[in-house]
């Protein structure tokens, strides 16, 4: 197997394609978490903060618990990814993507075991692991050149609109990430409604493609 010295050097396009695929993972997994795992998000902690406020204002204990689980999972995933890729010899993004793949495999297995309709007993655990996977993904994205976000899109959208208005230009890869998230979210919602057992395959395939590319190109 080729090592880092003999493998072709990854191009900027390689890194951007990985980021676009990871955006699809986030979009689809967020939708599934919201629709099937507790009406909170796996990656959007800002949205979960707002939902936590809703839970407090409406005294909705179930929503508050789901938000807390998502926060805990995301924090644990971020910590694990940081430990894996950090230190004196920082490891590349593919190490974190491998860990994310392992976590998402757990989600897929649990989802399949419940035929695409997780029970109340399993939902919190799947949410915890899904959020952990998103925390790891955020760390992986930070290891890419420029640290492109694949889970936080408000700032990215701000940049795209500002560049369009001020400079009459569009950052194509940022726009591609936004489009990837929206399309994947829509597909995940449709699958969850019409073929729930297949819904979790979408983030799994997107992550598998990103991990494969990262491995082949030594990202």
- Return the pLDDT at 141: 96
Report the domain count for the chain: 1
In a domain, 5, yes or no: no
Cβ burial 51-78 (10 Å sphere, 16+ → b, else e): bbeebeeeebeebbebbebbbebbebbb
Q: Give residue 91's domain range.
A: 12-216
Is residue 43 in a domain? yes
170: left (phi over 0), alpha (psi -120 to 50) or beta: beta
Radius of gyration of the chain (CA): 17
Residue 2 lies in a domain: no
7 is a domain residue: no
List the pLDDT tens digit at each of the 219 positions of the chain.
344 455 567 899 999 999 999 999 999 999 999 999 999 999 999 999 999 999 999 999 999 999 999 999 999 999 999 999 987 788 999 999 999 999 999 999 999 999 999 999 999 999 999 999 999 999 999 999 999 999 989 888 888 899 889 988 888 999 999 999 999 999 999 999 999 999 999 999 999 999 999 999 999
* 4 falls within a domain: no
Alpha-carbon distance 142 to 40, whole Å?
24
pLDDT value for 1: 39
Asked if residue 99 belongs to a domain, the reply is yes
CA distance 157 to 29: 20
pLDDT at position 218 is 93
pTM attached to this predicted model: 0.93
Residue 1 lies in a domain: no
Are 135 and 77 contacting, i.e. CB atoms less than 8 angstroms apart?
A: yes
């Amino acid at each position: 197997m080729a090592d880092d010295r003999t493998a072709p050097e990854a191009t900027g396009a390689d890194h951007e394609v990985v980021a676009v695929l990871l955006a699809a993972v986030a979009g689809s997994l967020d939708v599934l978490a919201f629709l099937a795992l507790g009406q909170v998000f796996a990656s959007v902690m800002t949205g979960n903060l707002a939902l936590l406020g809703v839970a407090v204002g409406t005294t909705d204990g179930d929503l508050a618990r789901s938000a807390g689980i998502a926060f805990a999972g995301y924090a644990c995933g971020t910590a694990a990814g940081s430990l894996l890729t950090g230190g004196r010899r920082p490891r590349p993004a593919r190490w974190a993507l491998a860990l994310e793949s392992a976590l998402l495999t757990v989600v897929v297995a649990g989802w399949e075991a419940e035929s695409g309709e997780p029970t109340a007993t399993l939902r919190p655990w799947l949410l915890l692991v899904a959020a952990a996977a998103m925390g790891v993904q955020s760390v992986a994205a930070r290891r890419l050149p420029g640290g492109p976000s694949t889970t936080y899109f408000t700032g990215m959208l701000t940049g795209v609109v500002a560049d369009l208005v001020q400079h009459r230009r569009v950052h194509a890869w940022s726009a591609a990430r936004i489009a990837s998230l929206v399309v994947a979210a829509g597909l995940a919602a449709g699958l969850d409604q019409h073929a729930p057992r297949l819904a979790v395959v979408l983030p799994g395939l997107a992550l598998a493609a990103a991990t494969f590319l990262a491995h082949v190109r030594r990202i």
